[in-house]
Structure 1
Amino acid sequence: MKSRPPPQKLRQRGILRERVFGCDLGEHLHNSGHDVPQVVKSCAEFIEKIGVVDGIYRLSGISSNIQKLRFVYLFVSFKCGTLVRLQIY
């Protein structure tokens, strides 16, 4: 029986992805090489393109919408067009 390849090799092949949610922020930033998580940048860009609502960054989101957004970010395509089409913003 063969042993499983190391996680780094699986990431290089695209089989295993770097965790985005539920992981240590410092570790994620170190592994990704970014100063700010890409999901935060993507969300800010979306809000700026669609239109800023006064106080938007102070409001809590609806839990079911947050779960849908997490799914779209991880498994579909986190682009403005996709989010508008799915209407989960």
Structure 2
Amino acid sequence: MYDEFASPRIIRRLGDPPQHRGSLSGDSCSDVFELSDGSFAVIGTDRTEELDAQLPADAARADYERIVVITRDTLLRAKRDIPDA
């Protein structure tokens, strides 16, 4: 039975694991995951302070949101696993 108030679970990684993208230790590296509620989770570097003032006029960030940067390679490798719809 689906519980709409339950926290989403990580279903799968999108793209290659960090070790396949050149991370020597695999301890910390950008990553993208699909969640059980259909949303996506991203592990990246918090660059909110640096980039917040550069957001376009039609973009906004809530206090609880962060601007997270992932490598180009991480996103390109995840692209093949991102559903079209």
Considering Cα pairs closer than 8 Å and 6+ residues apart, tell me whether 1 or 2 has the greater RCO. 2
Question: What's the TM-score bracket when you normalise by the shorter of the two chains?
Answer: under 0.3
- Structure whose residues are more often strand by fraction: 2
After TM superposition, the score normalised by the length of structure 1 is 0.22
- Structure whose residues are more often helix by fraction: 1
